[in-house]
């Protein structure tokens, strides 16, 4: 085989191979400054290690492999979100000892689930992304105060060939959906503002729950709120 034909064969093979795999890298999303009143709280936010390098890989219908690299997008997103939400925010790394800091409440966000669908699956022209975040809230003494599941959804229509941009946009829209829900419902769902008055009036569950990265004991059950078409104000 002549060298130029060999090169052509290699290029064709490479093109065919990349046709079965798609990589999507999500740039760090920013959210606009919200029209909400800041909560008068000093909050420590512990960013889990996986928020700095979150990669989701999935094989769709045995044909394409999609790799979605959120990188540090979640970490940047939560830092910005909480800085808009609370008067004072302290960012803690996964290995930082929370007891070295003074705060009213500690929030530990986590990703419980990440799913997506491509047009082949949904039989539409849209890519969709679902992200399930879990928000754990602790008081200043380390007691687990609340656990809240936030289910976010983003959808974007396919543009041009491939779908990397549409899937990337759907992921960003899902994060923005989570931001809207957290901004408007977190206080109602977790009663985090009550922690400004001091720690919960219950026997301490052990200071190590906020001091270290280990999973803390669950409080009296976790719950989720799902609201569409305007936010329900009843009970606020």
Partner 1 sequence: MKVNNSLAIVTAISLSGCVTARVEDAREATTGLNDGESVVVMAKSYHQGNETEADYINCVESALGRGSKGLNVIPNQNFVDNLFPWFEPRTAPADTKGLVKLMKRPGVTDAVKKMGVRYIIWLDGDTERVAQGGSLSCAAGPGGGGCFGFAWWQNDADYEASVWDLEGYETAGTVTADFSGTSFLPALVVPIPLIARTQSKACKGLAQQLRAFIVSDEKA
Q: Which is nearer to partner 1, 36 or 204 (CB)?
A: 36
Cβ–Cβ < 8 Å for 150, 137: no
In this chain, which of 146, 179, 205, 210 binds partner 1, going by CB under 8 A? 179
236 binds partner 1 (CB under 8 A): no
Nearest to 156, CA basis, from 146, 165, 143: 165
Instruction: Quote the tokens at residue 49.
Output: 């290690």
Which residues from 13-42 bind partner 1, rule CB under 8 A?
Answer: 31-37
- CA–CA gap between residue 48 and residue 93 (Å, rounded): 7
Binder to partner 1 among 61, 229, 234, 236 (CB under 8 A)? 229
Distance CA 64, CA 84 (A): 39
Between residues 72 and 124, which has the closer beta carbon with respect to partner 1?
Answer: 124
Nearer residue to partner 1 within complex by CB, 24 or 183: 183
Q: Is 80 near partner 1 (CB under 8 A)?
A: no
Candidate residues 105, 176, 188, 200; the one interacting with partner 1 per rule CB under 8 A? 176
124 binds partner 1, rule: CB under 8 A: yes
Contacts of 66 by beta carbon, 8 Å cutoff, 6+ apart = 21, 22, 23, 24, 57, 58, 59, 60, 116, 118, 167
- Report the nearest approach of partner 1 to the CB of residue 31 (Å): 7
Residues pairing with 158 in the sheet: none
Closest approach, Cβ 3 to partner 1, in A, equals: 26
DSSP β-ladder status, 21-25 and 64-71: parallel
To the nearest 10°, the Cα dihedral for 82, 84, 86, 91? 40
Question: Binders of partner 1: how many residues, by CB under 8 A?
Answer: 28
Residues within the interface to partner 1 (CB under 8 A):
31-37, 124-126, 153, 155-157, 173, 176-177, 179-181, 183-184, 227-231, 233
């Amino acid at each position: 085989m002549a060298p130029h034909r060999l090169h052509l064969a290699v290029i064709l093979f490479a093109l065919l191979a990349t046709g079965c795999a798609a990589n999507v890298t999500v740039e760090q999303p920013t959210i606009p400054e919200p029209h909400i009143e800041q909560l008068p709280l000093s909050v420590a936010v512990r960013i889990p290690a996986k928020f700095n390098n979150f990669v989701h890989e999935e094989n769709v219908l045995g044909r394409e492999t999609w790799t979605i690299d959120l990188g540090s997008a979640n970490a940047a997103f939560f830092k910005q979100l909480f800085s808009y939400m609370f008067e004072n925010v302290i960012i803690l790394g996964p290995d930082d000892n929370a007891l070295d800091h003074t705060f009213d409440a500690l929030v530990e966000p986590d990703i419980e689930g990440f799913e997506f669908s491509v047009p082949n699956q949904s039989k539409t022209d849209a890519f969709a992304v679902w992200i399930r975040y879990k928000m754990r809230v602790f008081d200043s003494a380390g007691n687990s105060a609340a656990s809240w599941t936030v289910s976010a959804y983003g959808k974007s229509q396919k543009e041009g060939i491939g779908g990397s941009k549409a899937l990337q946009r759907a992921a960003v829209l899902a994060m923005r959906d989570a931001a809207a829900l957290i901004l408007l419902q977190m206080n109602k769902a977790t009663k985090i503002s009550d922690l400004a008055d001091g720690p919960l009036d219950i026997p301490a569950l052990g200071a190590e729950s906020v001091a270290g990265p280990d999973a803390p004991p669950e409080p009296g059950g976790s719950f989720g709120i799902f609201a569409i078409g305007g936010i329900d104000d009843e009970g606020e």
